[in-house]
Amino acid sequence: MRVVVDLTKCQGYGQCVFAAPDVFRMPHDEALMYTGDADRDKVLRAAAACPVQALLVDQEGILGRPEDAVRGDGRVPVDRIVIVGASLAGMRAAATLRREGYPGSLTLIGKEPGEPYDRPPLSKQVLTSRAAAVDTRLPKREIGAEWMRGVAAVGLDLDGRRVHLADGRAVEYDRLLIAAGVRARPWPNPQEAALDGVVVLRTREDAEDLRRRLAAGPRVLVIGGGFTGSESASVCRELGLQVTLAERGRAPLVGALGEVIGGIAADMQRAHGVDLRCGVTVSALEGDRDGRLRRARLSDGSVLDVELAVAALGSVCNVEWLEGSGLAAGPWGVGCDAGCRAFEANGMVREDVFVAGDVARFPHPVYGYQFLTLEHWGNAAGQARVAAHNMISEPEDRRPHLALPVFWSAQFDVNIKSVGVPAFADEVAIVQGSVADRRFVAAYAITAGSSPRSPSTRRSGWTSTVT
Amino acid sequence: MATAYKTTAYERFLDYASRGDPYPLFWELRKTPVAQQPDGSYVVSTYREIVSLLHDPRVSSDLRNLPEIANIRIPAEEGVPQLPPEFIRRDPPDHDRLRAAVMKHFGPPGTPGRVAGMEPRLLEIITELLDGLADRQRIDVVDDFAYPLPVAVICELLGVPREDEPLFHRWSQISVETNDPTTGTIVERNRRRFETLAKLGQYLDGLADAHLQNPGDDLLSALVTDGEMARPDVLSTSALLLIAGHETTVNLITNAMLTLLRHPEVLDRLRGDPGYAVKVVEELLRYEPPIHMPGPRRTALEDIDIAGTTIPKGSVIILVLASGSRDPARFADPDRFDPDRADNQHLGFGGGIHFCFGAPLARLETRLALTQLVQRLINPRLVVDPPTYRHPPNLRGPLHLPLDIDGVRAA
């Protein structure tokens, strides 16, 4: 039995812990953690008991029941659907297609070998050894798909409706979904990046490798104070490791949450024993003659003796395979409309190519039709459902992907949740709770230019730092 | 009561005549999601609005916001202490502190396995109760099973002697009646409640002393020995748990049996597949919930704009949870009993910070109870349908539920 917790929905009611205390944990009052594999009956009880229905189990969660299928009359005749990307978005799309009654052939192409897995636990439960990396597999029922794993898509022939694969094969489609996602941005200096002890965290293999390295008790440098970097530093402290976090900006999480909340995050990190260095960059990573990382030099002239460096520098879109295809694809993602239809390079919309997940760049009406790419779990899941529905629907039955961006992050004993795009705001106020207690709600507003959005006044269950 | 055409849908819902089937009235209630009543209170009946207010920090559960209630003082007779409000009648931060202090001994993160660990003992109690019915041709689900079960469970959990049941049952009943809006004004009812709770509190105070001397593995012992809560709060908390453990699960189990007997196909499936009980219980909480409105009234701390209405500061707000759980805007075909329903985010246990404290225990008790009832009762038949209901509209359930049976299968 596999289970995935949609922590964007979780409000910390704890009912799952009551039902299955050996599967779910609430380590610090709020933040929910779960182990990978689990007793079937207990997990089903937990899933039924969740007041916000945030647990997905392979019994029915990810697919839903066939009778729930929305069987509109407006179905377009489509026989061959190909999905490039077999992670969360690709899986959700495949499941939605079947749930909505799509009977034709379905091919999923994924460059990673092995079964699709859930990423959020990688930087949390897996690193602390609370769950094995292998237990992060995404729940699935037989969805009647052909799986092509461990093989990358290397080209797209729009006119011929064909995806070219690294092994020389080509797969034809009537509808294509691009859910190729992103990968970790590597440390920019290739020699330094190749040192034993310089790692990134994105895939299940990365997490397993990092977990093993952390278990050896190294001194750690985390490069970058975004969510992955901050969660990694949190795990290091939980494991009792000495960790330095180097952040180029004035505080961690500044890019996503702004300086006020970033400042609070900085205090939180320091209170937990992180050696936080802001306003610095890492100018060099140095190894010994065996190629093992030994030292890091920072832009302020300081030198750190470290055995492990986690480069948490953000991500790179997996778009190289689309070069020359005629699609609007670039380092910023693959452009598409709110209905997930891909743009051609000239800005015209395609009717046969759709985009979803981390790689999709789409306009959001709430934000003045600005184009967003959202590397959020909830966005991947939601957008994939919309894309799948639209792929097999007549124009009048299509739906827009309008959900507000939502994400969470568990670090330093708090659960950070965000609704909307805080980065767009020019004002922030703590509207509820107490910063000192690390339990508060901050509201962001745009006061200049466009109209301000009303701040959220919801009081969530026991979720702590709600930002 | 005024003539029908002058009464509001809510008033008709309160009327005892509607107790057997209040659900058609909810369709009428929901036509005005937030409806002001003649007494100035606001009745909220639609899912979206209820959920929104359940999470709204401008909505208070502390009736001391109403000066006429804050000023109630019961005469100090023989040193009977007036108890402070229990945590369901408090707002943050006091609410959070008190609730966490009990949760520490009841659930995560402190004691996550406590409720799940009660399963074998619950099964034992259930088996005893059903064994005791072996020679009977007619049983009363309420008196023979649905009442004694939760009482036995809450007594053991809390550390209250079961033989004192006749004593505290009376206080519990009076206290619950004071939540019934048809039994007097909010001030009268709260005065009665304070008086009753004071007596219950005095009884519990004696028990607390005894447990302090000689602590057991029960909640009352845990609360008095860890010293995190002041004694008066220990007493109101214990009174709350005792009463809630008493008066709610009985209705859930009884409503459940009635509903199953009205839907024999579900009953049959449950008999063959005990795992199905999980979904059956959730759907029961939506379809025939034991609590139609939370006992403690809520009040607006500020003007609240909602569904085109402004609830003025100081108004009493009544959330009709049972109507929200039947809102067609949230649940397809809401008046159909369908345990296979997906995404069943019912309001059976409320929501927000006051989400039912005992929910995990109620779920466990009901799941085991139903599984055992349908497996062991041979050919159960309703004697009357509809049965006679208890008076309160908020804690709704049959007074008795007589069944004819052809015996009880051995465990």
What pLDDT digit, counting tens, does each position of A329-343 carry? 999 999 999 999 999
Element (H, E) at B35: strand B34-36
Is B344 in contact with A53 (Cβ distance < 8 A)? Answer: yes
Q: Is the pLDDT of residue A380 over 70?
A: yes
Number of A/B CB contacts below 8 angstroms equals 83
Q: Which residues contact B124 (CB under 8 A, 6 or more apart)?
A: none
User: Domain with B37 in it: what CATH number?
Assistant: 1.10.630.10
Cross-chain CB nearest to B342 (options A51, A68, A459):
A68
Q: What is the spatial distance between Cα B80 and Cα B24, in angstroms, rounded to a whole number?
A: 45
Q: Which of A424-433, B100-109, B157-166 has the lowest mean pLDDT?
A: A424-433
Cross-chain CB nearest to B55 (options A13, A60, A460):
A460
Confidence of residue A410 (pLDDT cuts 50, 70, 90): confident
The residue among B41, B106, B76 whose CA lies nearest residue B299 is: B41
Q: Say what the pLDDT of residue A437 is.
A: 82
Q: Say what the pLDDT of residue B80 is.
A: 65
Pick the residue of A15, A23, A33, A431 with the most B CBs within 10 A to test the interface with B by mutation: A15
Q: What is the spatial distance between Cα A226 and Cα A251, in angstroms, rounded to a whole number?
A: 9
Q: What is the spatial distance between Cα A408 and Cα A417, in angstroms, rounded to a whole number?
A: 4
Is B57 in contact with A28 (Cβ distance < 8 A)? Answer: no
Q: Say what the pLDDT of residue A419 is.
A: 87
Q: Say what the pLDDT of residue B71 is.
A: 81
CB atoms within 10 A of CB B164: 12
Alpha-helical (H) ranges within B104-185 are 119-131, 141, 148-158, 165-177
Task: Output the CA–CA distances (angstroms, integers) from residue A407 to A2, A415, A433, A466, in the order listed.
Answer: 22, 10, 20, 11
Is A459 in contact with B344 (Cβ distance < 8 A)? Answer: no
Amino acid at A156: L
Chain A CB contacts of B363 below 8 Å: 19, 45, 49
Helices and strands in chain A, H and E counts = 8, 31
Q: Is the pLDDT of residue A185 over 90?
A: yes
What pLDDT digit, counting tens, does each position of A259-291 carry? 999 999 999 999 999 999 999 999 999 999 999
Q: Is there a contact between B123 and B375 (Cβ–Cβ < 8 Å)?
A: no
Longest dimension (CA), chain B: 61
Q: Say what the pLDDT of residue A425 is.
A: 84
Question: Over pLDDT 70: what percentage of chain A?
Answer: 88
Q: Is there a contact between B362 and B107 (Cβ–Cβ < 8 Å)?
A: no
Task: Find the mean pLDDT for residues A357-382.
Answer: 92
A250 vs B1 pLDDT, higher one: A250
What pLDDT digit, counting tens, does each position of A32-66 carry? 666 655 678 888 899 999 999 888 776 444 434 33
Q: Could you tell me which CATH class the domain A71-183+316-397 is placed in?
A: alpha beta
Q: Domains of chain A: which residue ranges? A: 71-183+316-397, 190-313
Q: Which of A32-41, B324-333, B402-411 has the lowest mean pLDDT?
A: A32-41
Chain B CB contacts of A21 below 8 Å: 108, 112-113, 116
Question: Over pLDDT 90: what percentage of chain A?
Answer: 59
- Domain contains B21: yes
Q: Is the pLDDT of residue A156 over 50?
A: yes
What are the structure tokens assigned to B83, written together?
């108890």
Q: Say what the pLDDT of residue A32 is.
A: 60
A41–chain B Cβ distance below 8 A for any pair: yes
Q: Is the pLDDT of residue B262 over 60?
A: yes
Task: Find the mean pLDDT for residues A381-394.
Answer: 94
Amino acid at A367: Y
Element (H, E) at B363: helix B359-376
User: What percentage of chain A's residues is helix, strand, coil (to nearest 5)?
Assistant: 25, 30, 45
Q: Which residues contact A205 (CB under 8 A, 6 or more apart)?
A: A133
**SS3 category, A438:** coil
Domain hosting B174: range is: 4-404
Q: Say what the pLDDT of residue A18 is.
A: 94
Chain A CB contacts of B107 below 8 Å: 14, 17-18
Q: What is the CA radius of gyration of chain B?
A: 21
Q: Say what the pLDDT of residue A122 is.
A: 86
Q: Say what the pLDDT of residue A319 is.
A: 97
Q: Is there a contact between B350 and B324 (Cβ–Cβ < 8 Å)?
A: no
Burial of B227 (0-12, 13-18, 19+ CB in 10 A): exposed
Q: Say what the pLDDT of residue A27 is.
A: 64
Q: Which of A32-41, A123-132, A307-316, B211-220 has the lowest mean pLDDT?
A: A32-41
Task: Output the CA–CA distances (angstroms, integers) from residue B221 to A189, B105, B156, B229, in the order listed.
Answer: 63, 10, 11, 12
Q: Is the pLDDT of residue A452 over 60?
A: no
Q: How far is CA B106 from the centre of its chain?
A: 18
Cross-chain CB nearest to B56 (options A19, A20, A459):
A459
Question: Over pLDDT 70: what percentage of chain B?
Answer: 97
Mean pLDDT of chain B: 93
Q: Is there a contact between A24 and A57 (Cβ–Cβ < 8 Å)?
A: no
Dihedrals φ, ψ of B337, to 5°? Answer: -85, 110
Is A459 in contact with B349 (Cβ distance < 8 A)? Answer: no
Q: What is the spatial distance between Cα A172 and Cα A165, in angstroms, rounded to a whole number?
A: 11
Confidence of residue A67 (pLDDT cuts 50, 70, 90): very low
Q: Say what the pLDDT of residue A64 is.
A: 40
Q: What is the CA radius of gyration of chain A?
A: 22
- Domain contains B350: yes
- Domain contains B170: yes
Q: What is the spatial distance between Cα B164 and Cα A377, in angstroms, rounded to a whole number?
A: 54
A66–chain B Cβ distance below 8 A for any pair: no
B78 vs B166 pLDDT, higher one: B166
The DSSP secondary structure of B300-354, one letter per residue, reads ESS-EEETTEEE-TT-EEEE-HHHHTT-TTTSSSTTS--TT-SS----TT--GGG
Query: Would you say the CATH fold of A190-313 matches that of A71-183+316-397?
Result: yes
Task: Find the mean pLDDT for residues A396-420.
Answer: 88
Q: What is the spatial distance between Cα A236 and Cα A307, in angstroms, rounded to a whole number?
A: 13
Q: Say what the pLDDT of residue A458 is.
A: 35
The CATH number of domain A190-313 is 3.50.50.60:
yes
Q: Is the pLDDT of residue A411 over 60?
A: yes
What pLDDT digit, counting tens, does each position of A311-331 carry? 999 999 999 999 999 999 999
Q: Which residues contact A308 (CB under 8 A, 6 or more apart)?
A: A197, A199, A213, A214, A218, A219, A220, A221, A293
Q: Domain total for chain B?
A: 1
Give the chain B residue whose CA is nearest to the CA of A441.
B57
How would you label A183-214 residue by residue, b for 16+ Cβ within 10 Å and e otherwise?
bbebbeeeebeebebbbbbbbbebbbebbebb
Is B108 in contact with A462 (Cβ distance < 8 A)? Answer: no
Give the chain A residue whose CA is nearest to the CA of B359.
A15
Chain B CB contacts of A22 below 8 Å: 113
Task: Find the mean pLDDT for residues A11-40.
Answer: 75
Q: Is the pLDDT of residue A212 over 90?
A: yes
Q: Say what the pLDDT of residue A62 is.
A: 41
How would you label B364-375 residue by residue, b for 16+ Cβ within 10 Å and e otherwise?
bbbbbbbbbbbe
Write down the pTM of the prediction: 0.81
A383 vs A74 pLDDT, higher one: A383
Q: What is the spatial distance between Cα A267 and Cα B301, in angstroms, rounded to a whole number?
A: 33
- Domain contains B410: no
- Domain contains B411: no
The residue among A15, A9, A50, A25 whose CA lies nearest residue A417 is: A9
Amino acid at B103: M
Q: Which of A14-28, A380-394, B16-30 has the lowest mean pLDDT?
A: A14-28
Q: Say what the pLDDT of residue A152 is.
A: 94
Q: Which residues contact B144 (CB under 8 A, 6 or more apart)?
A: B129, B132, B133, B136
Chain B CB contacts of A23 below 8 Å: none
Task: Output the CA–CA distances (angstroms, integers) from residue A155 to A84, A357, B138, in the order listed.
Answer: 11, 19, 75
Q: What is the spatial distance between Cα A79 and Cα A89, in angstroms, rounded to a whole number?
A: 21
Amino acid at B8: T
Measured between CA atoms, how close is B166 to chain A, in angstroms? 31
Q: Say what the pLDDT of residue A457 is.
A: 33
A14–chain B Cβ distance below 8 A for any pair: yes
Task: Find the mean pLDDT for residues A389-400.
Answer: 92
Stated length of chain A? 467
Q: Say what the pLDDT of residue B176 is.
A: 84
Chain B residues contacting A via beta carbons under 8 Å = 52, 55-58, 92, 96, 100, 107-109, 112-113, 115-116, 275, 278-279, 281-282, 340, 342-345, 349, 351-353, 355, 359-360, 363, 367
Q: Say what the pLDDT of residue A453 is.
A: 42
Confidence of residue A2 (pLDDT cuts 50, 70, 90): low
The residue among B163, B164, B162 whose CA lies nearest residue B153 is: B162
CA atoms lying within 13 Å on the CB side of residue B70: 7
Is A458 in contact with B55 (Cβ distance < 8 A)? Answer: yes
Cross-chain CB nearest to B355 (options A26, A27, A461):
A461
Q: Is the pLDDT of residue A184 over 70?
A: yes
Is A14 in contact with B58 (Cβ distance < 8 A)? Answer: no
What pLDDT digit, counting tens, does each position of A69-126 carry? 444 456 677 899 999 999 999 999 998 999 888 999 999 999 988 888 888 888 887 8
